[in-house]
Amino acid sequence: MTTILLKVFIIQPRPAARLESPENLDLALRLLERCQDQGADLICFPEYFPFSGEAELARAARELRAYIAAGLVEDASEGRYNTTTLFDRQGYLAGRQRKVTLGALEVRGFGVTPGQGWQALDTDFGRLGLAVCIDFWGQPEAARQLSAQGADLIINPSIFPILRGHWKNGALVRSFDHYLPVVGVNTAGFLAEIAGRQYLMQEGGSFALQPPAPPDEKELAALIRTWDDLAPWTILEAGDEEAIFSVNLDLAGVRRCRPWIWERFGMC
């Protein structure tokens, strides 16, 4: 059986204090240069990073021949949104996902308004779900909608003034519920200046979760008996510093196993 792996790059930057600073776009582009000739399929930035720079990121996606998911603020006619924006391998806009559940700090600091609902996006490797920060790990609805739309992978760009320690726990629950690989992307620690005040952003801990995908149902049934905890599903967990990480994810194998899991646990 042939396994096709998706090569995902997680960029965990240390932003400038003011998230809207042009310095963050400059940093993003420098970090993207380090991904050159590395065979990346998908490159992921955290929430609110680099904040702006659609044209520059589109050009980078085209040069890298990779999808790029970036944390941008979208100024639309009907409002301002905290958006994860996806560019395809040709540098075209592949889709946007607006954050639905907003914290008081970001509303006050950036003037953003809530989005509505979640939409899985078609890519050349499958259907991709994007859910920003607490939309994914803090409540079930984003994962429910994206799973119902046939998502093969969920990217969870985040930033944390509080609650980072709970982040991966919530993501593991969603990963099990929907038998989906999940990539969580955070910044390195930094002191942010928002609305004239300083806030320490909790550092690092970006991760990748890979549900097991054995070749047949019998082997999967035996493996299920070992699932007293799901720690082995974490195939990457970053430290605290600014860094770039790569991980290979098996989307097709999980897609094959998902109906068996749902049937066994009555989730159909």
**Measured between alpha carbons, how far is 14 from 241 in angstroms, rounded to an integer?**
8
Whether pLDDT at 157 is above 70: yes
**Domains contained in the chain, number:** 1
For residue 17, give the CATH number of its domain.
Answer: 3.60.110.10
Average pLDDT value over all residues in the chain: 95
The whole-number average pLDDT for the span 208-216 is 94
Whether pLDDT at 3 is above 90: no
The whole-number average pLDDT for the span 59-70 is 98
Task: Provide the pLDDT for residue 268.
Answer: 59
| pTM of the shown model | 0.96
The whole-number average pLDDT for the span 196-201 is 94
**Out of 56-60, 94-98, 259-263, which region has the weakest mean confidence (pLDDT)?**
259-263
Structural domain that includes position 146 = 5-264
Non-local CB neighbours of 108 within 8 Å, separated by 6+ positions: 194, 195
How does residue 1 score in pLDDT terms, banded at 50, 70 and 90?
A: very low
For 120-140, letters b (16+ CB in 10 Å) and e give bbebebbbbbbbbbbbbbeee
Task: Provide the pLDDT for residue 267.
Answer: 78
The DSSP element (H or E) to which 151 belongs, if any, is none
Q: What is the pLDDT of residues 96-106, one digit of tens each?
A: 999 999 999 99
The whole-number average pLDDT for the span 44-49 is 98
